[in-house]
Structure formats: C-alpha cells, structure tokens
Amino acid sequence: MSEGARPVVLIVEDEPDVAETYNLWLADDYGIRIAHSGDEGLEELDGDVDIVLLDRMMPGLSGDEVLERIRDRDMECRVAMVTAVEPDFDILEMGFDAYLCKPIQSDQLQETVTNLLERSEYDDLLQEYYSLVEKSATLEATKSSGELADNDEYVRLRDRIGALREDLSETLDGIESDEDFIATLRGLSDVEEQ
C-alpha cells in the first residue's frame, strides 16, 4: 500500500447482491474492487490489492483455485475466505489468512479487514502464526474435541503453533495462550500507531 493511499480490498463474489453489500460496508474506509468470478478476480489482482475477500464456491474457477494461484504468484495480499462452505480438515492445506462463514455481519467483516491489514505489517513468522491460529480456531468452532484429537494434521498444526509461540514469546515476555499473544501484539501495534 502506498503512503497516504487507502487500502484496497478486492471482493471476489459471484452473487452481485452479496458483493454490493460488502462494498457498502467497506467503501467508506477502503478502495474497493469487485469481481464476480475467479478469473475476473485474478484479472483485478495486482500489487495494489491489500486484502482479498474470496468466495470459496463459484462457478468456473473456484475460490480454492484462486487462492492457490494468488499464493503461487507470491502476492503480498492477505486473503479471507468468505463462504457458506463449512470448514473441514481440508482447510489445513489452504493458504488463507481468515475464514468467515456466511452469513456474516458488517462489524465482523470490518473487523476482519482491519485485523488483516494490521497483520500485513508483521514479519513472516508472525503472519504464519496468525494464519495457523486462525485455522485452529476455525476447526475448533466446528469439530468436536474427539475429531480434532484423532486428526494427525490438526495435532501437527497445534504443535507448530506451540513452537511458533515459544519462538515469538521470547521477545514478548513468555505469553502463555494464543489469545493473550494476539492481544499483546494488537496492543503493541496500537502503541506504534500513536
């Protein structure tokens, strides 16, 4: 994002009414681009885009495929999947930064975009940590503790989160939980902005 410019949000959503609703919720604070298909979304994507709000199920090129192409291009943007698809363990392999299940509310979408913009300023290790915590929280909201415990990929995810937290907490006074860690980082970024 160039200095002084408003952050740019690309909405990739095949339902025009939904895309326009997101536009209305965000247009006061962000530059908005709208694409109604995966192919159109990739055409609209360039280095000026900071956040992509990506529907997972679209005709033609799916949101999963668009996400994969975004990551293959090494784009610096953050991606939020905004979808009616209930998360399953397949999300562990996906490179999104946030996962929102429809229907969503205005404040939820605005908070997600704000958080993703803040995260864009963190280094790669912090971004990986946030992404993994998001995946973990998404699964924990929809899966039983038994299902989680029985899934080897989820167990490896939690182990990686623990290792990252340990590495990162050395510089942040040994914070114990994911929630405390994230709250501390948000507090630090608030101080830096003042």
Q: How far apart, in whole angstroms, are the C-alpha atoms of residue 119 and residue 130?
A: 8
Query: Cβ distance 187 to 193 under 8 Å?
Result: no
CA distances from 131 to 35, 80, 101, 125, 161 (A): 24, 10, 16, 10, 10
Q: Which two tokens stand for residue 65?
A: 């495929």
SS3 category, 58: coil
Q: For the chain, give me the number of helices (H) and strands (E)?
A: 8, 5
pLDDT score for 20: 97
Strand 98-101 relative to strand 78-83: parallel, antiparallel, unpaired? Answer: parallel
> At the top level of CATH, which class does the domain 8-121 belong to?
alpha beta
Cis peptide before 103 (omega within 30 of 0): yes
pLDDT score for 112: 93
The domains of the chain are located at: 8-121, 127-193
Query: Cβ distance 35 to 61 under 8 Å?
Result: no
Q: How far apart, in whole angstroms, are the C-alpha atoms of residue 11 and residue 111?
A: 16
pLDDT score for 191: 41
pLDDT score for 96: 86
Nearest one of 130, 136, 3, 6 to 79, comparing CA atoms: 130
pLDDT score for 194: 38
φ, ψ at 184 (rounded to 5°): -65, -45
pLDDT score for 181: 60
Q: How far apart, in whole angstroms, are the C-alpha atoms of residue 143 and residue 62?
A: 24
pLDDT digits (tens), the chain, 194 positions = 443 489 999 999 999 999 999 999 999 999 999 999 999 999 999 999 999 999 998 988 999 999 999 999 988 899 999 988 888 887 788 888 888 999 999 999 999 999 888 877 666 777 788 888 888 998 999 999 999 999 999 999 999 998 888 877 765 555 556 666 666 555 544 444 43
* Cα 166 → chain centroid: 22
pLDDT score for 187: 53
